[in-house]
Amino acid sequence: MPLLAIVYFSISGTTEKLAHAVARGAAGMAEIALCRIAGDDIVSGRFRNDGLLQTIDRADAVAFGSPTYMGGAAAQFKAFADASSDRWTQQRWANKFAAGFTTGALAGGDQLHTLTYFSILAAQHGMLWCGLDIPGGEDPAGRNRLGSQLGLAAHMIDGALPQSDLGTAEYLGGRLAKMASRNG
C-alpha cells in the first residue's frame, strides 16, 4: 500500500479540516501520514523538522496544504518548502505524485496562486502533479464548486467549510492515492 504524506499548515483549523478530509478520501487505498507544520518547527525563520522531511522521503505521494494569505502560501509553509532545497538538489522526491489544497477568505481570494506555487514546488522536485478532473460547477455533488482544475480551492461560507469543499478534498485524496497505487 502506498504512503500518502499530507503536509499542511493551519492556523485556525480550516486547512486542517481539509487535510483530514484528504486523508478520509485516501483511507483504505494508502497509508496516511498527517504532517502538520507547527510553530515549533520554525526556528529563527527556518523550518527545522527533519522527521517530517524524512516522512516525505518515504512517501509515494504528497498533498501540500496551506491557507492562502496575502495571495500565496503561508510563511510557515514557505519555510518548509525552503527547507526542502537539500532534497531538491538530490531530486529525492522525483516521480512522487503531488497535489494541493488551500482555503481563502473569499471565493476569488487568490487561492489559484497558492495552488500554482504548490505545483511549481512539485515540478522543481521532479514530482508528478495530480489536479482535479471534476469540471467546475458541473458535478452533481457540488464538488469543485470554485472550478479550480489545479487543485482544491476552498473558502468558508458563514464561518464554516461547505460540505462540497470537504467532499472535493476527499475526492482529491482518493484520486491521489489511486495514482500512487498505479505507480508501485
In one-letter notation, the amino acid at residue 35 is C
Asked whether the beta carbons of 180 and 60 are under 8 A apart, the reply is: yes
Other beta carbons within 10 Å of 165: 27
Phi, psi for 2 (deg, rounded to 5): -70, 160
Listed residue (95, 130, 99, 101) closest to 14, CA to CA: 101
For residue 97, give its domain range: 3-183
Query: Given this model, what pLDDT does residue 159 score?
Result: 85
Cell output for 66? 496551506
Asked whether the beta carbons of 40 and 97 are under 8 A apart, the reply is: no
Query: Given this model, what pLDDT does residue 183 score?
Result: 60
Cross-strand pairs, 4: 32, 61
What is the domain-level CATH number for residue 150? 3.40.50.360
The predicted model scores a pTM of: 0.95
Domain tally for the chain?
A: 1
Average pLDDT of adjacent 10-residue blocks, the chain of 184 residues: 97 95 97 96 92 97 96 95 93 96 86 96 97 88 91 91 95 97 72
